[in-house]
Amino acid sequence: MSTSRSAGRSHARIASALAMALLLPAASCGQTGGEGVVDTAEDAGLGALLAAGCYAEARMYTPPGFASARSSNGMAPNGLTGNGLCQNGLAGAGLDLARMSNDDFATWFDQDPRLATMVVKYLYRCAAPEGQSLTWTDPSTGISHTWYGGLGLAPGWVGGAAATTAEQQTVSACLASLTNKFGVSVKLAMEGRSADGAQIPITDGELSTYSVREGCFFGNLFAGEGLYVGLDHWPWDPATSSVRACAAHAEYNESSIECPPIYQVGYCRDYCVLDSTETFYEECTVNGVSYHPLTTRILPSDVYSCGDGECQLSESCGTGDEYDNCASDCGACP
């Protein structure tokens, strides 16, 4: 499948420190999980959604040099349950009209309608197939909200059953894989499987067009196990960067965390198992827990190099020739 990149009281404080965006399709994908290249439009706010999740400190992976990362990016266990994935029990009941009429859901929704609308929109886009929609009327305001499916990654959950572990993991991977640091629309190809094991269809020419292997995304927001990203390419030289940023460099220090609260673990090959065709990852394991990941690829034109004459979003002014210190493209810093 190709797509584009492009709360409680606590979440607002964390959200203000996060510069992430979730980019969602402007057009829908195929019924069985999406086909072809899909354009996405920028939609700020994924930082708030993820940071307002449910995190279990004991389960979080800590790469070398990340001793204080939890406190710096909001991943410490501080009651950030505003996105509803845990306290509202969205995983424990079907994501359907019956659930939406539940009084607990309405109470949660009315605490922060803007965040709640975003949460359900993203969840439904990842979980439900193209052509399916969900309309719910808030009993306290009379306002109707409609959410549209797109990727079809969690058919059982959308059909009314409690979300399985596989569905929780796959939807979490979807949310993580659609992020980027700068909140611009960029196309990417997404490969992997839905929670029921169906492979996301790969269109003709997709792998050759989106020839730059980018990253693997996995985790479980619902179970408080966090989100992870790994690199699916060899190390880039210091001049090279990407507007996606989350899976560009594998450096173990706090300054390299480009898309908090997603943890960068290094290289996919060290944690994940490829499918038989070596196109995407079937499984990734961290802290002894195995996850259903999603794998991403990007266009060569979305990989930038200091010295190409254009100051890209991922590049910075300076005196050197590295992407974050690029004199030739961005000039000297004021």
Asked if 165 contacts 289 with a C-beta cutoff of 8 angstroms, the reply is: no
Residue that is written with structure tokens 């969602």 in the block:
24
Asked whether residue 111 falls in the same domain as residue 70, the answer is yes
Of 118, 130, 147, nearest to 30 (Cα)?
A: 130
Backbone angles phi, psi at 82, to 5 degrees: -70, -15
- 17-60 tens-digit pLDDT: 222 333 333 222 223 334 434 333 344 445 545 554 444 332 34
Q: What is the pLDDT of residue 114?
A: 81
User: 330 and 191 in one domain?
Assistant: no
Picking from 13-27, 71-85, 174-188, 232-246, which range would have the lowest pLDDT averaged per residue? 13-27
Do 185 and 314 lie in one domain? The reply is no
175 with 289, same domain: the answer is yes
Rounded Cα distance, 311 and 330, in Å: 5
Three-class secondary structure of residue 160 per DSSP = coil
Q: For residue 31, what are the CA distances in angstroms to 14, 41, 111, 132, 160?
A: 36, 21, 33, 9, 18
Distance CA 153, CA 151 (A): 6
Same-domain pairing of 190 and 333: no
What is the average per-residue pLDDT within 123-152? 90
**Which residue in 241, 221, 117 sits closest to 177, CA to CA?**
221
- Is the separation of the CB atoms in 233 and 213 below 8 Å? yes
Stretch 171-198: mean pLDDT: 85
321 and 231 in one domain? Answer: no
Tell me: do 321 and 179 sit in the same domain.
no
**How far is it, in rounded angstroms, from Cα 35 to Cα 45?**
26
DSSP-H helix ranges across the chain: 11-15, 46-51, 69-73, 97-100, 103-111, 113-127, 155-158, 165-177, 206-209, 327-330
The verdict on 330 and 192 lying in the same domain is: no
Work out the number of other CB atoms within 10 angstroms of the CB of residue 294: 31
Residues 6+ apart with CB under 8 A from 60: 70, 75, 225, 226, 263, 287
Q: Do 244 and 324 belong together in one domain?
A: no
Same structural domain, 292 and 310: no
Range of the domain at 333: 306-334
d(CA 289, CA 121): 28
In the predicted structure, residue 279 carries a pLDDT above the cut 80 = yes
Using alpha carbons, select from 130, 124, 277, 94 the residue that is nearest to residue 199: 277
Specify the amino acid at residue 314: S
118 vs 47 pLDDT, higher one: 118
**Any idea what the Cα angle at residue 132 is, between residues 293 and 122, rounded to 5°?**
45
User: Which residue in the block uniquely carries the two structure tokens 């501080």?
Assistant: 78
Q: Which residue has the higher pLDDT, 169 or 11?
A: 169
For residues 64 and 186, membership in a common domain is answered with yes
Residues β-bridged to residue 283: 273
β partners of residue 218: 228
Q: What is the pLDDT of residues 66-104, one digit of tens each?
A: 333 332 232 222 222 345 565 455 666 677 766 667 777
**How many domains would you assign to the chain?**
2
Cα 259 to Cα 180: distance, rounded to the nearest angstrom: 7
pLDDT number for residue 327: 96
CB contact at 8 A, 80 and 109: no
- 236 and 325 fall within a common domain: no
The pTM score is 0.79
